[in-house]
């Protein structure tokens, strides 16, 4: 006997408002944490507590189930009890100007040091020029210069007397001091010298030869003396500058807390200021302001620049409590590992350590960094930059061009920074398993997976828990409270979203959206509490916004543009059901599946596959169907069947095996020449033994065929056949349940293709008797008889050949 149609009570398991035990969500205690994610929460806690390298976290699961919320909440809870991380500053390295030095300082010390250095430079701009303008400095410098001048003049005077005695004169020219012929103590020119007697000329030449060497020695002594003078002046300048700088730098040292890295750098600063004290004097002479950067670059590397004494604060922890928790929404490689900026100066790009900028890993150092896995993977070089930092334990600012060796110009190479950052990636399961398979470094760096549940078991306790979750979301978003019937309606939608009447969906994003939309509808009606009609209206409005294509499809069926029969009988033709996904809307549509059977070589041709419109899973279903036909009916003879299967009026791809049961029924009808009721649609897959197997989208499929039949008028003979294993998934709309309750529509749950054929044809399937034959007149008997006839014709044809 064919199975009875399912009762209306089996088509939807509604939530009983009376069993929830409250009036409105305002009566419920708020719920802490995320529902049904105990396993994921344990994994997150473990990753946070595990201090060893490589124990970073990957939170995986579908979108909208609260992954980011749970991870962020856990990170913030742990971060609150952790010590505050260090400030990060970059300073000029006086020994290696192209390699700025990184300093990690206690929280707040970075800005304090930067401000102290600003004050220091401002004070030095006044103090150093003042020191060099003091009477004491001028007196000491003048003494040095006078001593040199007196010594030089005395040496030259003695030599000049000697030269005069030899008939020579000492002359000073722009190029130096020299000797020339003289008469009466006065230098004479070349022409006058030529008129002198030969004896006098010879005497003068002899005297010149004798004194030139001596003059050279004297000039060398003067140059050495001048170098000594400059050295004394430099020592004086250094002494004066050191006295001006020393007490001011002492204040900076005291303000910095005597930190060793800072002390080392300040010693370098002091030495450089003393060595370049003249720059401060020059700046003062120029009106108290340093030469502009553009002009400084133009006049050369010796130009005045006080920026080298600045402190570039990349990370400032002032006011922070606990470790940082950073979420980088745009994880480009520059936003992750930092960057060096450039400025245009006289048509050229220039940079220095003050243009170094922090990345998310800098800001999260000593704490936690959350990233969207898909965004990181789609940003060029970002994934490799992140892995390199985690693998090496240090953060190096490097442009992609540098990493590829494509940076021909000189640029900065900031010193790397040691990092202690726990990274949490959030993504879907596909990304996680692809990374596991394709990136050999992934599991070394992300050893902890937090796998989030898509759904939770439905029970009275979990329904109450879900109600508290709804109340928490309503309170957090400051929405109107829901009455108990509205909560029951929301829970029913969560069950439907789970595609299983025994489960509840954990999709928090969809739930939040539904509550907000229902609140707006209640507000339009002037209600202070959201009721079940508001929830129902919100769901209907959501579907309407996305239903343009669905409506056009239904219109095409109603106008017979897409031919779908809902009455009468036909051989080799069955109404199948397929599901379409468009954005957040999922709907089904009937499809006419036809089969043709004739004598042939034993092939079952999948036309969709032949024209490359059928996907691999659909092709697999057709091959399983062919295996079922051969296994059941070709035991005594060769299968001499040529059959074809196709989705009529299908112009796009066909994928999935949920039509294989309908295809089996169409093929059996075509072989056995058995008329099939067109008022019944079929969904389900089959195995090689003819058993019916569960498929997805069963609710949408039943509702789609119900809509088509309702538009033409429900007769009571229409309905849908589904696998028995799909019964637990049923959560049909109220209108479909009402039609079944009133006897105007039916849903049958079957275990095998035989039961489906009996419902479709009204003919018993038949079983094999002791004679290995099926009962005469049954479905299987008629199919087998025709196949045996094909086999006999094949044998006869072979003999004739």
**What is d(CA 603, CA 646) in angstroms, rounded to the nearest whole number?**
14
Phi, psi (deg, nearest 5) at residue 339:
-155, 165
User: Per-residue b/e over 559-582, b at no fewer than 16 CB within 10 Å?
Assistant: eeebebbbeebbbbbbbbbbbbee
CB atoms within 10 A of CB 330: 12
Q: Which token pair is 461? A: 């306790």
Of 795, 763, 793, residue with least CA distance to 781:
763
Beta strands in 127-187 (DSSP E): 168-173, 176-183, 186-187
H or E stretch covering 449: strand 448-451
**What is d(CA 286, CA 376) in angstroms, rounded to the nearest whole number?**
51
User: Per-residue b/e over 85-115, b at no fewer than 16 CB within 10 Å?
Assistant: bbbbbbbbbbeeeeebbbbbbebebbbbbbe
Catalytic residue among 658, 679, 746, 752: 658
**What is d(CA 352, CA 308) in angstroms, rounded to the nearest whole number?**
9
**Ramachandran area for residue 743 (φ above 0: left; ψ -120 to 50: alpha; else beta):** left
SS3 state at 765? coil
Alpha-carbon separation of residue 559 from 230, 321, 565, 677, 712 (angstroms): 106, 68, 12, 21, 11
Phi, psi (deg, nearest 5) at residue 380:
-55, 130
Catalytic residue among 685, 701, 739, 764: 701
Q: Which token pair is 388? A: 């390199």
> Is 134 designated active site?
no
CB atoms within 10 A of CB 360: 25
Q: Which token pair is 21? A: 């035990």
**What is d(CA 589, CA 80) in angstroms, rounded to the nearest whole number?**
53
**What is d(CA 746, CA 736) in angstroms, rounded to the nearest whole number?**
9
Alpha-carbon separation of residue 360 from 196, 331, 335, 364 (angstroms): 90, 8, 6, 6
- DSSP notation for 589-609: EEEEEEEEEEESSSEEEEHHH
> Is 503 designated active site?
no
**What is d(CA 445, CA 387) in angstroms, rounded to the nearest whole number?**
7
SS3 state at 297? helix
Residues designated catalytic: 658, 701
């Amino acid at each position: 006997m064919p199975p009875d149609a399912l009762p209306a009570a089996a088509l939807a398991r509604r939530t009983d408002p009376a069993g929830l035990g409250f009036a409105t969500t305002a009566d419920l205690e708020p719920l802490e944490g995320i529902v049904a994610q105990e396993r994921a929460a344990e994994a997150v806690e473990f990753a946070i507590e595990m201090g060893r390298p490589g124990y970073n976290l990957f939170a995986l699961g579908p979108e909208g189930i609260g992954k980011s919320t749970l991870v962020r909440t856990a990170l913030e809870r742990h971060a609150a009890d952790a010590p505050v991380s260090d400030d990060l500053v970059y300073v000029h390295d006086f020994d290696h100007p192209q390699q700025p030095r990184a300093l990690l300082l206690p929280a707040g010390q970075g800005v304090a040091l930067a401000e102290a250095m600003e004050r220091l430079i401002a004070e030095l701009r006044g103090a150093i020029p003042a020191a060099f303008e003091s009477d004491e400095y001028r007196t000491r410098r003048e003494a040095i210069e006078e001593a040199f001048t007196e010594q030089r003049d005395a040496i030259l005077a003695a030599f000049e007397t000697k030269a005069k005695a030899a008939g020579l004169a000492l002359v000073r020219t722009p190029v130096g001091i020299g000797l020339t012929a003289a008469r009466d103590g006065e230098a004479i020119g070349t022409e006058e010298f030529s008129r002198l007697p030969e004896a006098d000329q010879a005497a003068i030449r002899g005297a010149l030869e004798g004194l030139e060497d001596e003059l050279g020695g004297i000039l060398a002594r003067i140059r050495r003396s001048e170098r000594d003078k400059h050295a004394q002046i430099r020592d004086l300048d250094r002494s004066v500058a050191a006295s001006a700088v020393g007490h001011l730098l002492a204040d900076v040292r005291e303000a910095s807390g005597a930190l060793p890295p800072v002390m080392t750098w300040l010693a370098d600063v002091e030495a450089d200021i003393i060595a370049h004290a003249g720059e401060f004097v020059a700046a003062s002479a120029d009106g108290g302001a340093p030469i502009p950067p553009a002009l400084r670059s133009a006049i050369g590397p010796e130009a005045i620049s006080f920026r080298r004494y600045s402190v570039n604060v990349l990370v400032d922890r002032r006011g922070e409590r606990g470790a940082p928790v950073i979420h980088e929404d745009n994880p480009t490689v520059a936003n992750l590992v930092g960057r060096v900026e450039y400025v245009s100066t006289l048509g050229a790009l220039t940079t220095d350590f003050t243009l170094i900028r922090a990345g998310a890993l800098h800001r999260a150092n000593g704490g936690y960094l959350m990233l969207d896995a898909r965004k990181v993977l789609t940003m060029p070089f970002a994934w490799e930059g992140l892995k390199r930092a985690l693998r090496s334990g240090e953060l190096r600012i490097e442009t992609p061009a540098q990493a590829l060796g494509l940076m021909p110009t000189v640029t900065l190479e900031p010193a790397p920074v040691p990092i202690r950052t726990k990274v949490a990636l959030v993504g879907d399961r596909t990304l996680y398993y692809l990374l596991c398979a394709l990136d050999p470094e992934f599991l070394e760096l992300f050893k902890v997976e937090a796998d989030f549940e898509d759904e939770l078991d439905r029970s009275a306790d979990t329904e109450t828990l879900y109600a508290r979750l709804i109340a928490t979301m309503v309170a957090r978003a400051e929405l109107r409270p829901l009455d108990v019937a509205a909560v029951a309606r929301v829970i029913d939608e969560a069950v439907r979203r789970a595609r299983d009447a025994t489960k509840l969906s954990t999709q928090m994003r969809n739930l939040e959206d539904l509550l907000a939309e229902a609140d707006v509808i209640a507000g339009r009606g002037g209600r202070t509490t959201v009721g079940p009609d508001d929830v129902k209206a919100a769901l209907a409005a959501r579907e309407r916004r996305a239903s343009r294509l669905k409506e056009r499809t239904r219109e095409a069926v109603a106008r017979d543009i897409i031919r779908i029969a809902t009455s009468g009988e036909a051989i080799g033709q069955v109404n199948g059901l397929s599901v379409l996904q468009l954005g957040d809307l999922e709907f089904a549509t009937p499809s006419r599946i036809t089969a043709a059977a004739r004598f042939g070589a034993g092939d079952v041709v999948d036309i969709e596959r032949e024209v490359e419109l059928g996907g691999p899973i659909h092709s697999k279903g057709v091959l399983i169907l062919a295996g079922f036909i051969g296994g059941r009916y070709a035991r005594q003879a060769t299968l001499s069947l040529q059959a074809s299967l196709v989705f009529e009026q299908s112009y796009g791809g066909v994928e999935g095996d949920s039509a294989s049961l309908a295809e089996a029924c169409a093929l059996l009808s075509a072989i056995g020449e058995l008329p099939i009721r067109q008022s019944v649609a079929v969904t389900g897959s089959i195995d090689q033994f003819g058993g019916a197997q569960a498929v997805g989208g069963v609710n949408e499929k039943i509702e789609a065929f119900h809509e088509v039949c309702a538009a033409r008028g429900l007769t009571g003979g229409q309905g849908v056949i589904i696998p028995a294993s799909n019964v637990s998934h049923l959560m049909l709309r109220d209108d479909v349940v009402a039609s079944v309750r009133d006897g105007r529509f039916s849903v049958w749950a079957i275990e095998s293709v035989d039961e489906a054929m009996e419902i479709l044809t009204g003919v018993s399937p038949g079983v094999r008797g002791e004679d290995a034959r099926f009962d005469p007149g049954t479905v299987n008997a008629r199919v087998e008889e025709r196949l045996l006839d094909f086999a006999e014709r094949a044998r006869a044809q072979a003999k004739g050949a």
